[in-house]
Amino acid sequence: GAGVSQSPRYKVAKRGQDVALRCDPISGHVSLFWYQQALGQGPEFLTYFQNEAQLDKSGLPSDRFFAERPEGSVSTLKIQRTQQEDSAVYLCASSLVGLPTDTQYFGPGTRLTVL
């Protein structure tokens, strides 16, 4: 079946622009995570949704970062007034029902470059 998809795969933005990154989780998956991966580093947690509820946003680096999942399926990560330090790969992951050992399935990521 279809896996997690993300769009766009690549995004170039000028400093100060707003961007929106989309995640389509696996159909029926309840949990959705966003991670940020800087070059040469492991992914770092940004935020977590269970259905439409954002239960953890402790990893969002600033108030310029905002995520939503209004209908409990597709999610959008928005970054306002992008800065060069926002350049990274943004990964989305989903899992089925949110049991403790549910596997997180990752999308291919969106590579954001801020000039």
Partner 1 sequence: DAKTTQPPSMDCAEGRAANLPCNHSTISGNEYVYWYRQIHSQGPQYIIHGLKNNETNEMASLIITEDRKSSTLILPHATLRDTAVYYCIVKGTYNTDKLIFGTGTRLQVFP
Where does this chain bind partner 1 (CB under 8 A)? 4, 31, 33, 35, 40-45, 48, 50, 55-56, 59, 91, 93, 95, 97-109
**CB-neighbour burial class of residue 50 (10 A; exposed 0-12, middle 13-18, buried 19+):** middle
How near is the Cβ of 50 to partner 1 at its closest, in Å?
7
How near is the Cβ of 10 to partner 1 at its closest, in Å?
11
Q: Among candidates 93, 104, 80, which has minimal Cα distance to 37?
A: 93
How near is the Cβ of 16 to partner 1 at its closest, in Å?
28
Cα–Cα–Cα angle for 98, 101, 103, nearest 5°?
75
How near is the Cβ of 109 to partner 1 at its closest, in Å?
5
